[in-house]
Structure 1
Amino acid sequence: MRAVVFRTFGGPEVLEVAETPLPEPGAGQIRIKVAAAALNPADLSLRAGRFGSRGLGTDLERLGLGLDVAGVVDGLADGISSPEVGTAVIAMVAGVREFKAYAEYVVVDAAAVAVAPGSVDLVHAATLPVGALTADEALTLVAAQPGDRILITGAAGGVGGYAVQLARHAGLHVVAHSHPGDAALLRELGAHEAVSDLDGPTFDAAFDAAGLGDAVFASVRDNGAYVTTRPDLLPDTQRGVRVSAVQAAPDGPRLAQLAALVDQGVLTPRVAMTYPLAEAAKAHAHFAEGGVRGRLVLVP
């Protein structure tokens, strides 16, 4: 099979397509024939070496990328009977491994897999796992109550957009923060208010999906809640504000619930552009430019 790999840290140019053996599912795993793999910021960070070489060993050799996958079940390990071969599925691919979702096939733990939403194609479904799981976990950590005012930064992005929709669905008063030109999009996603500036501690809670830090923390009232995607920017607890950092983890049952919300019209997967697998480097360069509204998706 073909897979996108890199052998050294660096810019998009280090990505290459390699011919690799077809992966075999091990105990508790399934093999997915990949229909689409969405790009995430973590992919760019890993490729660039921003996480360092932790867990990668002393010899990088070659590593794959891709946390978000949508495709069709192609093979099952002994003892795994569901989902059946031929079922359209989505999953978050975890861990450091040689081949991940930027490939024609990928092996994942069965516990990470959910049946794909039936109301959208697999290219759109591929944007769901990491973004929606992160947003859902962030709102769990926020623990806001219906009617509370919540600020969501990076609200036009992949994670922030899902957070806006989930927060609105939960009955929160959603104030979405992004560039002024995104106001119409944010209201379309369900935000009650769209802002580009912050002014004072006016929010019961904040999900800082953009990782802006101190200015967002300062906008939360005393005894409120602040959740960020950047654990390295986690502020010290003060004024009674609960602080925490969110990190998505594979969770098939939770992902199935989020897929159901797509079919109910609560969540709207957004795709900005697709690229063939061979143009992974071009897709990474596009993503790095910023300003992408919706996910970039690789299609084998």
Structure 2
Amino acid sequence: MNTVNETMRAVLFDRYGPPEVLYAGTLPKPVPGPGEVQVRVHAVSVNGGELHGRAGELRLVTDLMARGFPKRVGLDFAGEVAALGPGATGPGVGDRVWGALGRTFGSLAEYVVVRPRQIALVPQGIDLVEAAALPVGAVAVTALRDKAGLRPGERLLVRGGSGGVGHVAVQLGRAYGAHVTALAGGRTLDFVRDLGAHEAYDYATTTPSELGRFDVVLDTVGTEHPAYRGLLAPGGRMVAIAFDLRRLVPSLAYIAASARHGRARVRAFSGRPTTRLLTDLAGHVAKGELRPAVDRVFPLEEAAAAHRALEAGGVRGKIVVKVVQNPVLAPEQR
């Protein structure tokens, strides 16, 4: 990736801390190198990992991602292709795309440069603000279909059913023919049921022992792995995509030990959406099996307020930050 003298707006922070450390600054506008694609970003969603990164709870990782300050936020994005580097393939200039960065933050900016394998065409029928709510949710496809092998008629438990990945997993569980039970905050239970959950329970007042047995448990929360692993029926599978940062070493050690001991293994992974996964996700949108859920929208200058909103909890789907005010219309809307 090359840069020129042009600048762009981006959300930055100069020290670890609360949401108030975020501010709208300027950076050199990135120019696509060979095989790269420049995307004009329209909207970005806020993800839980960014909150931990900004607060300094992942500083060993974030310092490896980008040394020194200022650091950046933003993982997924939706926008339009603005320019192609030499030899770049895939979507063309003007195409609406969605995607996610690799192993770094920084999509909350006016432009990003990515590899074609990190993006796909946005499905018709949704705008770019809605589209920004879904890319990271593509990991639910990997979790349920590829890692757990969820089958029709099986019982699925989704922890964090109203969140960014959870609200996608609930809908995909129904699409895959499973009986879906979701744990979520008390204020979001009706929302989760509306997404398709057959049963929804308040995590604050429901203990694991009250839930019964499940063929698949998808954990987007990261705590109490042993208790939820204990709910697995014979042949059951548990997939964890979150970890307890306050007890990270014991948490990871437990997951590793489950591969060798006990009746059920806890599968864990940390993945990024790819063109194939994003295209699969778009297929579910096109079939009416998946819809984005945008709780609130903030302008770029209010990124700190967006982080505060996610930290406060009770979010239905995703918090989205709108980078540009002039919408990029889908072909059928032009």
TM-score normalised by length of structure 2? 0.84
- Residue 52 in structure 1 maps to residue 24 in structure 2: no
Q: How does 1:1-300 map to 2 (within 5 A)?
A: 1-54=8-61, 56=63, 59-96=67-104, 100-131=106-137, 133-139=138-144, 140-196=146-202, 197=206, 198=208, 199=210, 202-213=213-224, 214-231=226-243, 232=248, 233-234=251-252, 235=254, 236-237=257-258, 238-300=261-323
Query: 1:211–1:35: structure 2 CA closer, same or farther, 3 Å change rule?
Result: same
**Aligned mates of 1:181, 1:59 — CA distance in 2:** 40
Q: CA deviation at 1:55?
A: 6.0
Q: Percent identity?
A: 38
Distance in 2 between the 1:175 and 1:115 partners? 31
Q: CA deviation at 1:200?
A: 6.0
Shift of 1:299: 0.9
Q: Deviations over 1:95-144 (max 9, x none)?
A: 236xx21111111111111001111110010011112x221111121123
- Are the structure 2 counterparts of residues 158 and 55 from structure 1 closer, same or farther at C-alpha, using a change threshold of 3 Å? closer
Contact 2:32/2:84 (CA < 8 Å) preserved in 1? yes
Of 50-59 and 189-198, more deviation after overlay is shown by: 50-59
Whichever residue aligns with residue 211 of structure 1, its letter is G
**Deviation at 1:210?**
2.2
Question: Which segments of 5 or more consecutive residues in structure 1 lack a partner in the other structure?
Answer: none
Deviating 4+ runs (over 4 angstroms): none
Aligned length in residues: 297
Q: What's the CA shift for 1:54?
A: 3.3
Task: Note the alpha carbon deviations across 1:195-232, whole angstroms, 9 max, x for none.
Answer: 33232651112111222323322222243111112244
Residues 44, 78 of structure 2: 8 Å contact kept: yes
In 1, the alpha carbon distance for the partners of 2:184 and 2:282 equals 26
Cα deviation for residue 146 of structure 1 reads 1.6
Q: Distance in 2 between matches of 1:177 and 1:71?
A: 32
1:18-44 per-residue CA deviation (whole Å, 9 max, x = no partner) reads: 122111112321111111011000111
Structure 2 segments unaligned to the other structure (5+ residues): 1-7, 324-334
Cα distance in 1 for partners of 2:187, 2:23 equals: 36
**Residues 175 and 191, structure 1, Cα contact 8 Å, conserved in 2:** yes
Whole-angstrom distance in 1 between the partners of 2:16 and 2:84:
33
Q: Any idea what the Cα deviations from partners look like across 1:177-201, whole Å, max 9, x if unmatched?
A: 2234433222211112223323265
Structure 1 window deviating more from structure 2 (279-288 vs 50-59): it is 50-59
CA contact (8 A) 1:27 1:78 kept: yes
- Counterpart contact for 2:46–2:319, Cα < 8 Å: yes
SS at match of 1:138: helix
